[in-house]
Amino acid sequence: MLRNKFSKLLGVVFIVMFFLIPSNVWATGKTYIINFQMAWHTRHPEYFAIVNPHKGVSKFSKDQGLIPRLEKAAAKLGYKLKFILYPADQLVKRKMALEGLKMGTIDMLASCAAYYHGLVPEGDVDWMPYVTATVGREKAWKFFNSGELAKIKRQAYLEKANAYWITSVLCGGENVLMKGTKPVKSLSDLKGKKIRAAGGLSTRVVMALGAEPVTMATGEVYPAIQRGVLDGLVFPIYGLRDYKLIDYVKAVTQPELYVWSDELWINKDKFYSLPKDLRKVFVETARKWAEWASTEYWPAYEKELIEWAKKKGCHFYTLPKKEQKRWKEAIAPVWEWYANESPGCRKEVELLKAFLKKYEK
């Protein structure tokens, strides 16, 4: 008798709890597997930023990486995210990775939009010259990741790449790095020089400065410099140490032309297969990480590298204001070239010019 009453009471309690407790609590143990490929090798600073920032800059912790943050955020909702990581070219070749994401071969991708300018030109706007140098990393990141410009990028990737664009990271500042110890001090120093560029906007910038752009994979740069195929390159300072370019490259011209931007996408179908509450926290968490990586992790990484490079005999030269103005004027046609790529690109240029007008003196 008492046993029957107790059983009925337990049943009532269970029913009440079922309706009162949020549904995600009952989903505890539900695992979502995400195949995640990056355009970087496992010792690359951006790989560290995603997996374990402590390996890049000792003062940061593993918990500040993208993947630990996403796993923790999902766990709070009662879900489990499991990332299967693929470094550069492991599952899909780097230059075809966005196509691989589009087809669903991979679920998630971290790479730079410059590689995929031909497919989605609107994504290349983050590489526009002198934006970050003019307004600073914090303002630049917020502009590129919010408002109408972000809507244009997200819609372009949805329509052209079947990809949900999540956020971007302002990584290493791209300076002119030259073979030898003599830095570039004027536009005339660049005339006819063979300079490596990443493609898209960056290639057009090198052309506008009067140099001859050479597009090649990062892994090909060292032997190209060694053999004299290249006179220099537009590249982040981290390449001096991480790619051992310091062996031949000991001259850096500042300020940075632009900041290499790393984008984060997830396959649209995979994204919308996730529960709504998980999708929301996924994007929010990734964006918080991206802002941190852009404004804290990468500046700290570069600061350490500059100090290291100077000890190795690298010469840093900052262009005088008058010469900087000449460079900006020389690069001006790049803006119109980009605007002509698509209606979305033209709108992005309009938004960007209006934004910069508030800060340019």
| Domain residue ranges in the chain | 17-357
* Lookup result for tokens 């140098």: 133
Decide: 141 and 290 in contact? Cβ < 8 Å: yes
Per-residue pLDDT, 17: 40
Which residues, 6+ apart, have CB-to-CB distance to 194 below 8 Å?
A: 211, 212, 214, 229, 230, 231, 232
pLDDT value for 206: 94
How confident is the model at residue 201, as a pLDDT? 83
**CA 299 to each of CA 51, 57, 146: distance values in angstroms, whole numbers, following the listed order:** 18, 10, 21
- Show pLDDT as tens, one digit a residue, over the chain (361 residues): 444 554 554 444 344 344 444 444 444 559 999 999 999 989 999 999 999 999 999 999 999 999 999 999 999 999 999 999 999 999 999 999 999 999 999 999 999 998 899 999 999 899 899 899 889 999 999 999 999 999 999 999 999 999 999 999 999 999 999 999 999 999 999 999 999 987 788 899 999 999 999 988 788 899 999 999 999 999 999 899 989 999 999 999 999 998 989 999 999 999 999 999 999 999 999 999 999 999 999 999 999 999 999 999 999 999 999 999 999 999 999 999 999 999 999 999 999 999 999 887 6
- Homologous superfamily of the 17-357 domain (CATH): Bacterial extracellular solute-binding protein, family 7 (3.40.190.170)
E-state strands within the chain: 30-38, 79-86, 108-111, 163-179, 194-197, 212-215, 232-236, 249-267, 315-318
Question: What is the distance between the alpha carbons of residues 145 and 153, in angstroms, rounded to a whole number?
Answer: 9
